[in-house]
Amino acid sequence: MMEIVKVTDLTKRYGNVEAVRGISFSIQQGEIFGFLGPNGAGKTSTINMLTGLARPTSGRIIIDGMDAIKDIKKVQSIIGIVPDDNNLYDEMDGFENMCFCAALYGMRKSERERRARELLKQFNLVSAGKRPFKTYSKGMKRKLTIAAGIIHNPKILFLDEPTTGIDVESARQIRQLILDLKKQGTTIFITTHYIEEAERICDRIAFIVNGKIVKTGTVEQLMQHAQDEHIIELKLSRDIKNLKTKIEDNFKNCRVEVPGENSCLLISKEPIKLSPVLQFLDAKGVSVYEAKAIKPTLEDVFVKVTGIQAAELKKDEVKKQK
């Protein structure tokens, strides 16, 4: 595995605001690496520093062996940037916008047009390509912005909240396009505040809160942080509130919770042996209709590790005036 991005002790200060507070991480070639965090965590500031849109206060950024602070122009020729607001021209049509971006990368006219047509087709925007950008829906705008970001076949693509505020179907298409790009070998850095999105498409996720990375890992590695308890939910033929202490006395390592009628949770630090519990309940005249293991979700892990309620992430974005 090769590190294609390496960030060390990166900070960004705006006056008194410390937006990014000494973060270090690396991205492996070919992976989808995600920053998951609430509004104001420092995601955009970080992506802007990595792509040369903002100057770091301190720290180091190496991209594909180059110093991304000193040699940003060289770096920019091998990266694609999709900022969180659309950066295309309202009056130009889709095709013209694509060709214009390609020209900025110094592509020849015939190559620009070939690539623009190819991407419009791949992104299902062929007929929209003939209409001015301002007539597009939000989802179409996002798609064209992404298409423009990869016009020069970048090695690494930086996407800032690519699915925020757009319709479900466009968001699904965009996630699929990101996975297709990965298949073609593109390395991808994505920021998001959607847990499910990070979980579904990222190879590794960094939780970022208050300008700091609090945890990094694959979904599987992150999950291990919540798996210090085993939980089994039982569906029962009757209420067993009165049996709670009896069960706990009989099964010393188990805690019992009765969240609702006709069900209970068995909670233990160790794997729970179910058959003695079932026999015990049977002897008390309680039938067990269903037993299922309750697995923690990535959301549980996020809440546990960051101390931030998942609702903070789900809050709909109030767009900053930039």
**Interaction site with ligand ATP (CB under 6 A):** 14, 17, 19, 37, 39-45, 320
Instruction: Give me the least distance between CB of 161 and ligand ATP, in Å please.
Output: 6
Instruction: Give me the least distance between CB of 36 and ligand ATP, in Å please.
Output: 10
Cβ proximity to ligand ATP, 112 vs 141, nearer residue: 141
Q: Which two tokens stand for residue 262?
A: 């006709």
- Pairwise CA distance, residues 217 & 33, whole Å: 10
Instruction: Give me the least distance between CB of 199 and ligand ATP, in Å please.
Output: 18
Q: String of b and e for 223-255 (b: at least 16 CB within 10 Å)?
A: beebeeebbbbbebeeebeebeeebeeebeebe
Cβ proximity to ligand ATP, 14 vs 289, nearer residue: 14
Cβ proximity to ligand ATP, 2 vs 17, nearer residue: 17
| 268 to 139, 224, 227: CA distances (angstroms) | 46, 16, 11
Cβ proximity to ligand ATP, 109 vs 138, nearer residue: 138
Instruction: Give me the least distance between CB of 320 and ligand ATP, in Å please.
Output: 6
Cβ proximity to ligand ATP, 116 vs 202, nearer residue: 202
Cβ proximity to ligand ATP, 168 vs 318, nearer residue: 318
Give residues with Cβ within 8 angstroms of 313, minimum separation 6.
Answer: 36, 37, 38, 193, 194, 195, 302
Q: Contacts for 290-296 with beta carbons within 8 Å, 24 or more apart?
A: 290/233, 290/234, 290/235, 291/232, 291/233, 291/234, 291/235, 292/232, 292/233, 293/230, 293/231, 293/232, 293/233, 294/231, 294/232, 294/233, 294/265, 296/223, 296/226, 296/227
- Pairwise CA distance, residues 17 & 313, whole Å: 21
Nearest of 296, 50, 84, 295 to residue 193 by alpha carbon: 84
Instruction: Give me the least distance between CB of 88 and ligand ATP, in Å please.
Output: 19
Instruction: Give me the least distance between CB of 49 and ligand ATP, in Å please.
Output: 9
Instruction: Give me the least distance between CB of 256 and ligand ATP, in Å please.
Output: 41
Cβ proximity to ligand ATP, 45 vs 97, nearer residue: 45
